Every structure is written in structure tokens, then in C-alpha cells.
Structure 1
């Protein structure tokens, strides 16, 4: 069975950014929204999924996360806008239930 890994970027109304990696994006988004796991996302209320990318290889996901985290903000914004120019929350697109607290 192939596992899928996801690199993702979260944001909020101030456009604060958080880059992460997971093997279960829906579960991780629920954890972020419930304030479990990442102190940074909890403190900044980073609940909007604004960009994501999937791969079948954990090493590839970890390298991509490292690469994106090394970029300056301007390049991260360009990456987000290439996929999601309106900065809409992509959570429903990946199957996040709508009743999870924000």
C-alpha cells in the first residue's frame, strides 16, 4: 500500500505563514484547528490551508518542506498565489469536515 505525504502551508487573516509536512492532512488540520501539536499555529490561529503538495515519498516531502522553509517570504507568497490566487481556505477540497472549530 502506497502512503501519501503532504507538504502544506497554513495562514490566517494577517497572512502569517506556517509550513508543515504530514502523512494525513485531514487529521493534521483537525489537530491544528483544535490547538493540538504546534504552539506556533495555536498562538497565531493558523487555520486556513492555503497551499499543499503531495508525494509518495517521505524523503521528498521532508526535502520540500525544508526547501520552502528556507525561502524568503516573497517566494512563499508567489508559490501560494500560483495555486491559490484568492487565498481561499482549501480545507474543504481535501476533505476536512466543515464543523471543526476554527
Structure 2
């Protein structure tokens, strides 16, 4: 089962949310529908702008913890290397 580390944004250079999941499409859909009240719902953080896939949950969690320590400008560079236009990648996910 693949595990994904992902970054969501409210808009280009907007508020960022970093997370890890075993079902990226489902998780992003829950953010978009604001199913769970909290940070992402409050700040309308629902645009999938970056993700990477790992085979093991331990690897994904370690990567997430590492990225949480990164400075914001490093995260922006990471996003723009994969997705320079900050397009919502959710529609491109295979379901």
C-alpha cells in the first residue's frame, strides 16, 4: 500500500498544510469538502500542490517530520520544482 506525503495550499504562496496519508485522493477530497473542522477548513487549504509516494509508512512519516522542520521558502521551492503554476493536482490523481 503506498503512502503519500502531501502539501496543500489555499492559493499560490498562500497558507500551507503538510500531511501524510495512505489514500491521497480520499484525504484531499475530505479537505475540499471540509469534513473535519480545523486548520485546513478554517484557512480554506484544499489545493493539492505537491506530493510524493513512499512504500512504507515509516518512510512517509519520517519525510513528513523532516519537511515540517523546513523553512517556508524551502517548501515553496519544493512545490515549484514539481508544480511551478501551483495547479491543483487533485484532478490528476488516479482513483
Q: Which runs of 5+ in 2 are unaligned?
A: none
* TM-score (ref. length: structure 1): 0.87
Q: Which runs of 5+ in 1 are unaligned?
A: 97-102
Q: Does 1:80 align with 2:79?
A: yes
User: Shift of residue 95 of structure 1?
Assistant: 3.8
Quote the residue 1:15 is aligned against.
14
Aligned ranges for residues 22-61 of structure 1 at < 5 Å? 22-37=21-36, 39-61=38-60
* TM-score (ref. length: structure 2): 0.93
Give the Cα separation in 1 of the matches to 2:37 and 2:84. 26
User: In 2 relative to 1, CA 6–38 (structure 1 residues): closer, same or farther, beyond 3 Å?
Assistant: farther
Q: How many residues align?
A: 94
- Which runs of structure 1 show a deviation greater than 3 angstroms over 4 or more consecutive aligned residues? none
- Residues 1-42 of structure 1: per-residue CA shift (max 9 Å, x gap): xx0000000001261100000000011011111112361100
